[in-house]
Structure 1
């Protein structure tokens, strides 16, 4: 790719970013869009309704930037939990890493690369020169200047490792501090027991009661057996929908609004009195729900939430094998009551094991199928190849601006559009694995999407673009550094444009909330919902964290190969830091809190990025005829893996479970808390399936799940 094509892509994306920022700063002031841009504040009744008109509402203003910047970490922790703090710490960590890398790369390595003459670059026609002139490929083979790159790799690795240790230590201590400061929570005293064995002369509740009374008599408190209520979940959703419609209709004062058609979207079917129609529909659904609830008495699932009198007692039951057969009485931590995913409790141990294999196969098939758009994208980056495939386009491709848009902007845009379908698929695949909490599903989807992105966006583009016919050399491990050293630098220009398109524009569109804005209006009109009837969204960690981490991988990998990518990454991380602080303040509301357990994913992926950089460095110094530097890099990945092993042993156990020291200290503090008896009374019913709770939609305006 030539420099002018990159500048064309940057210009297009800068224009889109400016447009999104301008429209956001105007639309957020309009009363009709308050549920789009400030749903969290509306739900918390903190948003100021602007019913009067003034000129200031039509002018863009940057006031929201200062508000987001002033948000402290303590305020963020209080309003959104530790997961949100960890999410923003990823941006802070990345900014520190690439600020340091940018100083070295942009002011030292980039001039060295550009002043080389390996590619015979002429300064007279710079806009039409390849971006390879800014990469290590332009440094002469065997040049002593390559030792500066060698030192940069060592210095950068040491700095990133130091920051990783500092962040791991900070977040782990923050996790313990939050645990000490927290009030007693039901999931701290509860475990989930699955694959419960049942004899012919006893029921599941009796088996649970007998087993834990005999084996945990001093700490056992109560249990709640899970029922097969998946059918009820759908009926409750329908009842809630009709109840909301009925409340909205009753709030409408115009008589005409109470008549309509009972067909699709209210456009078809016979004309009815909507008030009577909705009330009858709601009563019928309630009757069906009550009949289904009464029939669930003997439809228990061999799983139960078991609560204990102390956190330590729950931890002992959780971490010790309960039965002689390890496939029975399988215990796992209980999620928060509102985090429980009630649909997948019926699967046995064997079924869950089979589902995991099926999901692995499905992920592999999805990865293979995604190679099709990757090949299309790589074809667009090569005009000669594109003209070979489509000769009739040769005339259009000869136009300078068109060729610059096709090679500089279109490939990243197409890849970004295809990637939008992947996160929902990963969530669906993770839900098939039998996880019992939405947070577990999201963490699993996050890991799947991260490695899918690394393989399909990084390795697949690298190999299909530069070394497609050399894949067989991966059967010889000694050839891997050499193959990557040839393939990775050749794709630097594509990944720079990918950062601009997928990073800058995507982050700006996140602020603008284009899809909620477009879909919200027809949804309200067709479903009869008003602005008071909306759901506050939760931040999609499974989608955003892989993107942030993947950009980190690109920055680490291309730090010494093509430092030109570093300023674009810094702009992305600065944008993301401000935008997501604003979104956490005004838009997103936490649906669960894992206690910062997303950070180990970030740590492991950063270690992988460092090791990948080292492998490429070994190959690149070998290709550049500097074998001594290549040999001296070999200890670096080993030292990095040793450092990672130390961090995993030092910090990772804290993220898996709280230590006994913390549990016992909290239990002792609770002994002097007068509110604990009331808490234990609520704990007995905390994990009762909401589908089994009595309902009363039509009788009164009480909340849907009030007993």
Structure 2
């Protein structure tokens, strides 16, 4: 799948201050692209403009439309989970793309260079959105089609085995995430819960149970309030570096005599890519834009 790498390239050109920040931004964009392209576009049947026009003119019918569409597409998402699990995890173990790239590079541009490992750090921006989409699908279909849950359990079990092996024995650790992805994963799960509850409201309406639909609305509001509480209570922990850890790192740098060197490197480490005059900068922008446009229309 080329879209995650296209998003990562656009984030690099956007001027992120670190590799982790680039991958976090790419992870966020890839997740929303998958939700819109795989989940919602698969649910919308018929003419896209007609469906969207009906949703805008009759917003109260969105839960019922969502419930009916989700019920009709259960077989498709079961197939999607099986295909993504069996083929995706198999390709993850075999790494055919990187093997081909290493073979081509060693015989063309990289001929005569020193041998470098062709495997890189764990591609969080590609793995987390795909797994989060599976969690979202499982939450939505836990009420509509519970028979999908065994397939999801098998998917996550197989993914656990594969990625434990990849993290321990295959990928190199380029940086420590320090839990920076957890707020985003929490947000993705929150989106899945909200979609599940909206689907429940529409499903109870289709089953002619208005009392159950009305009783689900406070649950939706409580979920939103709990998410806001989590943002206030826990989100600052991930955004602000603790003084204790900062002091420990400073003492470690001072003991090894790296304090002045790190300060000098910090002053000149970041350069806005737009200000960097390179001949290939414009070519990269147009190339990545063309890749993104091709992926969207396909």
**1:670, distance to aligned residue in structure 2 (A):** 6.4
Picking from 187, 190, 204, the partner of 1:604 is 187
Distance in 2 (alpha carbons) for counterparts of 1:551 and 1:603: 14
Distance 1:540 1:677, change over 3 A: closer
Cross-structure match for 2:257: 678
Query: Is 1:574 aligned with 2:157?
Result: yes
Cross-structure match for 2:24: 443
Distance 1:465 1:552, change over 3 A: farther
Q: Is residue 466–residue 490 contact of structure 1 (8 Å, CA) maintained in 2?
A: no
Query: Is 1:532 aligned with 2:103?
Result: no
| Cα offsets for 1:507-538 (capped at 9, x unmatched) | 12101112223343343344435883334411
Q: Is residue 496–residue 568 contact of structure 1 (8 Å, CA) maintained in 2?
A: yes
Q: How does 1:258-657 map to 2 (within 5 A)?
A: 420-464=1-45, 469-475=50-56, 476-526=58-108, 527-529=110-112, 532-657=115-240
Cross-structure match for 2:274: none
Distance in 1 (alpha carbons) for counterparts of 2:71 and 2:46: 11
**What SS is found at the alignment partner of 1:634?**
helix
**1:478, distance to aligned residue in structure 2 (A):** 1.2
Q: Which runs of 5+ in 1 are unaligned?
A: 1-419, 692-707
Q: Is residue 28–residue 184 contact of structure 2 (8 Å, CA) maintained in 1?
A: yes
Cross-structure match for 2:279: none
Distance 1:518 1:536, change over 3 A: closer
Distance 1:670 1:524, change over 3 A: closer
**1:432, distance to aligned residue in structure 2 (A):** 3.5
**1:665, distance to aligned residue in structure 2 (A):** 7.9
Distance in 2 (alpha carbons) for counterparts of 1:668 and 1:590: 22
| Cα offsets for 1:289-319 (capped at 9, x unmatched) | xxxxxxxxxxxxxxxxxxxxxxxxxxxxxxx
Q: How does 1:191-202 map to 2 (within 5 A)?
A: none
Cross-structure match for 2:243: 663
**1:486, distance to aligned residue in structure 2 (A):** 1.4
Distance 1:689 1:553, change over 3 A: same
Distance in 1 (alpha carbons) for counterparts of 2:34 and 2:50: 22
Q: What is the number of equivalent residue pairs in this alignment?
A: 268
**1:468, distance to aligned residue in structure 2 (A):** 7.0
Normalized per residue, the structure richer in helix is 2
**What SS is found at the alignment partner of 1:443?**
helix
**What SS is found at the alignment partner of 2:167?**
helix
**What SS is found at the alignment partner of 1:464?**
coil
| Cα offsets for 1:619-640 (capped at 9, x unmatched) | 1111111111111111111111
**1:687, distance to aligned residue in structure 2 (A):** 3.2
Q: Is residue 136–residue 189 contact of structure 2 (8 Å, CA) maintained in 1?
A: yes
Query: Is 1:687 aligned with 2:266?
Result: yes
**What SS is found at the alignment partner of 2:4?**
helix
Normalized per residue, the structure richer in strand is 1
**1:597, distance to aligned residue in structure 2 (A):** 0.8
Q: Is residue 253–residue 259 contact of structure 2 (8 Å, CA) maintained in 1?
A: no
Distance 1:518 1:637, change over 3 A: same
**1:494, distance to aligned residue in structure 2 (A):** 0.6
Distance 1:574 1:683, change over 3 A: same
**1:439, distance to aligned residue in structure 2 (A):** 1.6
Distance in 2 (alpha carbons) for counterparts of 1:553 and 1:674: 43
**1:601, distance to aligned residue in structure 2 (A):** 0.7
Distance in 1 (alpha carbons) for counterparts of 2:250 and 2:13: 39
Q: Is residue 618–residue 633 contact of structure 1 (8 Å, CA) maintained in 2?
A: yes
* TM-score normalised over the length of structure 1: 0.36
Higher normalized contact order (CA 8 Å, seq sep 6+, divided by chain length): 2
RMSD: 2.7
Distance 1:626 1:506, change over 3 A: same
Distance in 2 (alpha carbons) for counterparts of 1:446 and 1:517: 24
**1:682, distance to aligned residue in structure 2 (A):** 2.6
Choose 1 or 2 for highest CA Rg: 1
| Cα offsets for 1:52-111 (capped at 9, x unmatched) | xxxxxxxxxxxxxxxxxxxxxxxxxxxxxxxxxxxxxxxxxxxxxxxxxxxxxxxxxxxx
Distance in 1 (alpha carbons) for counterparts of 2:235 and 2:196: 24
| Cα offsets for 1:2-49 (capped at 9, x unmatched) | xxxxxxxxxxxxxxxxxxxxxxxxxxxxxxxxxxxxxxxxxxxxxxxx
**1:689, distance to aligned residue in structure 2 (A):** 5.1
Distance in 2 (alpha carbons) for counterparts of 1:495 and 1:617: 18
**What SS is found at the alignment partner of 1:687?**
helix
Distance in 1 (alpha carbons) for counterparts of 2:245 and 2:17: 29
**1:428, distance to aligned residue in structure 2 (A):** 2.5
Q: Is residue 102–residue 118 contact of structure 2 (8 Å, CA) maintained in 1?
A: no
